[in-house]
Chains A and B, each alone.
Chain A
């Protein structure tokens, strides 16, 4: 499902503040697997996730996602591929604060060309599934951290992706909410989706539904 071959990501290349975020990483994630990438802050977990998520291109190496080599795809096709196959939960949620919950969840659907009725139906389903119906018309900035996290999950699932990527999904949650989140992840996994989580939270990588844990340090994958 996901194959990373000798992929590197360098930010600010050639400048004094150059960052080697990912160094010659190799990784293979099979369909339906839940894999956790663990490591301390700055180890390159998020950068690797971003590369797999078709949000950025690798500086070197190759990345295949859902049967397509995305590292050399033109920007437009990379976006289309991401839209079709990938849902992402960001560490900072990356929600638009002054849009409503419903609008934030529907964000990936706006450019798809589906009817407004279908958009609303899909959004309502996810709101119900994540027990957020009562908050649908609230602005995101009026929600708690846990609620914002659920909105981020709903948004990542709204386009029905094969692959779900989550970057430090429990970073802003207390233990109870973190457990809830992992229960939700387990349900999502059972639906047949492939999940890759970047986290250094033991509650995540020790969860029963996790198939594999990969260690990263200084941009390199230590074990896989």
Chain B
């Protein structure tokens, strides 16, 4: 035990002797880890946020297509779909996009009853009087982005135009929790009748239909049956949507990670440079240690601790910094590179997510190569006769 403590003591002295060089290395190392882990943290948080939003969607969404474009579907589809065995319920949905000239932004208008389960999951914030009542005509629930863009507060009114350019105003009775901003930031929730009027959807037609299935294992089978029952429709399965979000954000983060590969390559070159040889001074020092009775294993233990002492704190520093950057500071700059699928960019708060597998990969890509690159040349210097090292023969 004393031997290890003594070697540790020597390692610390060794580290302090080269403190500026080591601190520079630690900063560089930490910065690299920070860059990569920030992207991973951010992507993980966004994916989780998106998945949470997807959870509130119907198991199957049915849309009517004409000439490859989505068009309103007959509301009667709901009855026909309900006849399929295993279906819990079918909701007709009215929704569409609304371009607001004053803020130069697109809003998503949805005609829906907020008391239905799906919307409750998105954390409605309403005045107590409105809490348990369905969304009535003339009232609206707005996403946080619209509240901000239009400088609105609960109780105030928002004006919207119908396709025939007649104005309608709606009393704002609620908003959504900030944690669901990724999905709700640009949403206006109206009663079905109001939404139909603002979006110009005729009576008897709906934008699409939400289908809920009792047995979640049967969703694919039900979706197939719906397709067979109603030619010319498109079905979107919730799990498919989840995978799509995953793919989109993975692709975006992958793209950013590719741009960071340059940093990784620079780091790899530095590691390679280190691995290919020690400086004459470092070799001489190893020779002196050997000549004064140090064994090869003593030198390797010392070098292992030295490299671990540099790389592991740097790694943890990088991870901690990226955690603070993403989850406390909201990942400025980087966030706008990964999000941005909505016109009003949602300033949602990230829920901390740490994917241990990805962190382990990062650990293996940074800490382990660094330790190896330190130990190999030291081992090469330590196994030859110390006089060769000392005299430089």
Contacts and interface: CB of A to CB of B under 8 A. Distances in A.
A78 B383 CA distance: 12
Nearest to A115: B2
By CB atoms of chain B within 10 A, which of A75, A110, A115 has the most?
Answer: A110
Given A12-B393, A110-B10, A80 B3 contact: no
A134 interface: no
Interface residues of B, number: 31
Contacts of B9: 110, 116
B385 A56 contact: yes
B295 A76 contact: yes
Main secondary structure of the interface of B (DSSP, over half): helix
Given A55-B386, A56-B387, A112 B295 contact: no
B298 to A, nearest CB: 4
Interface residues of A, number: 35
Contacts of B284: 94
A22 to B, nearest CB: 12
Interface string A78-118: 01101100001010101110110001000111111111100
B292 A99 contact: no
Contacts of B7: 110-111
B290 interface: yes
Contacts of B287: 94
B13 interface: yes
Contacts of A159: 293
Contacts of A119: 6
A12 B292 CA distance: 24
Contact of B6 (A11, A50, A96, A113): A113
A111 B6 contact: yes
B291 interface: yes
A55 B387 contact: yes
Interface in B40-99: none
A115 B2 CA distance: 6
A3 interface: no
Interface in B339-390: 383, 385-388, 390
Contacts of A108: 292-294
A76 B50 CA distance: 60
B291 to A, nearest CB: 5
B220 interface: no
Given A50-B387, A55-B291, A75 B6 contact: no
Contact of A107 (B292, B295, B296): B292
B289 A107 contact: yes
A155 interface: yes
A94 B289 CA distance: 10
27 contacts: A11-B393, A53-B291, A55-B291, A56-B386, A56-B388, A76-B297, A79-B293, A80-B295, A82-B293, A90-B291, A94-B287, A107-B288, A107-B289, A107-B293, A107-B294, A108-B293, A110-B294, A111-B7, A111-B293, A111-B294, A111-B298, A113-B2, A113-B6, A114-B2, A114-B6, A116-B6, A119-B6
Interface of B: 1-3, 5-7, 9-10, 13, 17, 284-285, 287-298, 383, 385-388, 390, 393
Interface of A: 11-12, 50, 53, 55-57, 75-76, 79-80, 82-83, 88, 90, 92, 94-96, 98-99, 103, 107-116, 119, 155, 159
